[in-house]
A and B are shown apart, each in its own frame.
Chain A
């Protein structure tokens, strides 16, 4: 395995050399580097031209310029030297520009990838299991629609239409009876399609889902929840127990009592611990990502211990399920904190809670959680825009591979052993379907980066995409190269991870 990784790294290095050279030369010749000065009639034009020639080394031949850039870039990996990625046409330091841009883009890309993978695979599996159902047809059609939507069009639509409408609604955030009724019907249809089953059962599911949705929306409007959202301790307890049951059902099935008890105990501990943790989280000095991460680690350790102690005959599954439950409850507590930050944040930004410009509100001062909320509100729409296509890819692809694995002989063998349908689907079919999905993840990453370029332009986020678009339109190689080198290295790393995951998932590769 180590040999494989090292060999891949060496090959990737040479590929990067070739591709950086190609792109450098192409960008350098894609237009006139003095383009913006041509219309300039100021007396100091010759000095400006000379200055530009000097900072971009326009008097040197291409290979020499490239080697100069490469030398500066190489300093990034040599310890003790500082990165030098050259300067822009306007004599700014690319390294510094890139430093700010990378974080913004990384947030966007990571959020979009994670969401697309989770949602896409889940929806794909459900639609494979409900092949030729209403749900399946709806998902298939939506996937095709998303494939056919230009990212920029969606982005503009979200920015100019959805965001404005949501913000207008938020002036007085209530759901009227008509809107609640429509949403309730939609929810009923969706849940009926997901749960499936024979006619009567499906009608019961539809009814329950619709009534519950309607009641919930009306109740939340009545107590003005949307203006001051929060979950509250009681609801956290209920959600925790729900998470415990769902996780147990997915990991081992409710029949495994040891696993179920472990998850429920973890949920119980979480419910009690929230009272202990909430004051810390609301303490301005204490709250930070480091400490939240620390809490997550503690949660994992405690949950694992509970799973180990109570797992009985199914210790492995119990530990896994318990850890998932613990993390789930942790996330719920964090979500609660973020929700509690909404009213103050809404005041701070004048009620326009969905942001459409930039990656954070300029000069925003607030608590840690308000800061987090600020980032989230800036991320939501761009992430959604990028995610749609990837979501479509993942759901289509996981549906197809799932159908294929469900058709395999070993799935029939698993059934013939008398395993539950859950075990057959999750342990046998899904586990095998994951193998080709890892390759897809590597391919899709490049698309997401491309989508990021467009959405950053639309939402005016100061990310790497903006750097690229500005650089290219001014025939300015250095910012483009800065964008490209970060992109290419992350693609190489992503590919490597996907290869390793592939080998890990498939013993035929691992052992050869």
Chain B
């Protein structure tokens, strides 16, 4: 099941190879991630898009080594050429927070309510470096300043409940970059925030990333977030990567009907006045996946062939753009691939 990842000159900073994650549950085995591969270059922004349950969060938690014990992980996660999954626990821990950091979805619950912001930031420094608390707090204040929190020295003494949601997410970003990591995994960093704050936080995240020269894995279900920020985008569906390419390519000419469906259900100026075109149906259960393309039940282009064989991620007309669809040539021939969903909605024969 080798998939073609975009080859670059030197080895990528982070490389995920054929990653699978399974959970045993009372109802059966959940195949949360079913073999995804991608690479991440230094200073790059990779967007991972998918709906709830597509495996995007689980795969990123696997990269962080934060999955529950009940998770069974196979494949390889190579950071600077070394496999994170086979590392000693201590070695893995020394990567976490220092080389690979994470920003979580809900800033309201992600900070410990009983410690001050300063304590929590300083702790992140002192768990990796032998420095005094004073120095660690000094760096914490710098970081708060960097993420745009006014009066950083005073605010170090505040508790999380004394901050607003947006401010807390800024603290989380400060915590993520305080050790100058190489990779920041941002798991839906703006989803839990007010719409007005979302853009600010996203902008701050990118600004801070440049300041510390980190790469970002930006996980989201919102294509709008990806459009303005990511260099490349990976679309996930039912635990699999279904499309991977440069953001521009994927948005202009999607080669997988699911991506097209996502794009079609997104409001934009070009299509204003027309109806949005939602994808009919719901994603499949990950416990007993039927054979064939998991998207086929919802796909307007599905043929008998799609119900039997699950397509592999393969190169489309451009080397850097891969898609997992038997029918991508049909999409390539169409001027507006999102239109397929419209025809189906009106009730094609």
Contact = CB atoms under 8 A, between A and B. Distances in A.
- Given a CB threshold of 8 Å, the question of whether A touches B is answered with yes
Interface of A: 313, 408-410, 412-420, 423, 427-428, 431-432, 435, 505-508, 511
B113 A508 contact: yes
Contacts of A417: 96-97, 101, 123-124, 127, 175
A415 B127 CA distance: 11
Given A413-B104, A423-B127, A418 B111 contact: no
Contacts of B93: 418-420
A432 B114 contact: yes
A507 B113 contact: yes
B96 A432 contact: no
Interface stretch (B130-138, B142-150, B325-333): B130-138
Contact of A410 (B94, B110, B159): B110
Interface in B281-296: none
A507 B115 CA distance: 8
B98 interface: yes
Contacts of A505: 114
A413 to B, nearest CB: 5
Nearest to B185: A416
Interface string B110-127: 111110000000011011
B66 A412 contact: yes
B114 A506 contact: yes
B43 to A, nearest CB: 21
A507 B161 contact: yes
A434 to B, nearest CB: 9
**Size bracket, chain B contacts:** 20 to 34
Interface string B81-103: 00000000000011111100110
Contact of A416 (B94, B97, B114, B130): B97
B17 interface: no
Contacts of B162: 511
A409 B109 contact: yes
Contacts of A427: 123
Closest 5 CB pairs of A and B: A418-B97, A418-B96, A409-B109, A417-B97, A410-B112
19 contacts: A313-B126, A313-B131, A408-B109, A409-B109, A410-B109, A410-B110, A416-B96, A416-B104, A417-B96, A417-B124, A418-B94, A418-B95, A427-B123, A432-B114, A435-B114, A506-B114, A507-B159, A508-B159, A511-B161
Given A410-B109, A412-B104, A419 B114 contact: no
B305 interface: no
B106 interface: yes
B193 to A, nearest CB: 15
A415 B130 CA distance: 19
Contacts of A419: 93, 97, 123, 127
A262 to B, nearest CB: 16
